[in-house]
Structure 1
Amino acid sequence: MAISVFDLFKIGIGPSSSHTVGPMRAAALFATALRERGLLDQVRRVEVRLYGSLSATGVGHGTDRATLVGLMGEWPDRVDPKQIAPRIEALQASRELLLDGSHPV
């Protein structure tokens, strides 16, 4: 069985891809599932709880930002890393998260 370099390495936003890729993908999958099931319009609030090492070092390793951007519908291998900080700043200023990139929460 051949193993590709793409099987070994994942593209992530860093600084610690082990703390960003999984949470970002999980958040994006959650937002996508809501849209696909027609439930997006029913969402009024989102609460994220981190456990284990993600809760212990999440902010320092970017888990919080990765999760927020994932909830916005972005994926680790498709998001422009230069757009993350401005989007987080806009979210903090507006106090409004665009779930799946469209539904304000």
Structure 2
Amino acid sequence: MEDKSPICPKFEKAINILAHRWTGLIIYQLFSGPQRFSDIKSAVGISGRLLSERLKYLEKEGIIKREVFPETPVRIEYSLTEKGSSLKPLMDEIEIWSQKWLQSDDN
């Protein structure tokens, strides 16, 4: 049976990736450069378990990379891949749209 969905499957997958809770904030946080787990955790305000889950998911999708530095103690940093960095214009537009059209929860 032919799929008659008017939405492109790639578009739908992209939206699903970004729709995971906290994913957009994690990506946005990494625009400022490579960061350690604890730095992302404090900046985003997410539990360690959930952050770990999201980072693994984003790594699997090729959006971030995890780099282990053989030091004592071991240092691990997360950064955006080229694929992840290419989301910057999209995220900038979402930020502009949100500033114009959405009210903060503080209001």
Same fold (TM over 0.5): no
Q: Normalising by structure 2, what TM-score?
A: 0.33
Asked which structure has the greater CA Rg, the reply is: 2
Q: Normalising by structure 1, what TM-score?
A: 0.33
